[in-house]
Amino acid sequence: MSLFTTVPPNVVQSIRAFRLSDLQQEAKRLGQHFLYAHCSKATTKQQVLVTVAQSFCLPKSHARNFDALSDCLTRLAHKAGPQQGFVVVIEQLPSTAKFDKDARETLLDVFRDAAEYWLDKKVAFRVFYSFE
């Protein structure tokens, strides 16, 4: 039985009910990309973007702003060829003055938009996150 039986194929949700190792194993079993970023050392928007870009092996140019990250998660990945799906985990998003609630929501909106983009392409894009 799939770990994702009750998880929609295109969703952004808290990681609470899942263990990291189980998500990674399920991505492998399904032949999907597993993208992981641990942001506990980041305290600013720029540091979060750099951490995500480096962790996902994205070009440095995609760590500049939310729009560049969005482009990489959608159009650039789509241009790379057929995709089997994505399981994305972003742990320990900071809660600081330089990465406040608005910045966190904007980042999660980037991933929500990417999930919608891939839904239109019939490709699973599941994102799991946690806060500090």
Q: Residue 30's pLDDT is what?
A: 95
Per the listing, tokens 């970023």 go with 37
Joined tokens for residue 68: 């560049």
> What distances in angstroms separate CA 113 from CA 24, 31, 67, one per listed residue?
22, 23, 11
Joined tokens for residue 85: 């799906």
Domain residues of the chain, as ranges?
10-131
User: How many residues in total does the chain contain?
Assistant: 132
Instruction: State which residues of the chain have pLDDT below 70.
Output: none
CATH class, domain 10-131, is alpha beta
The burial class, CB within 10 Å (0-12 / 13-18 / 19+), for 125 is: buried
Joined tokens for residue 52: 């995500």
Q: Residue 80's pLDDT is what?
A: 84
Q: Residue 63's pLDDT is what?
A: 78
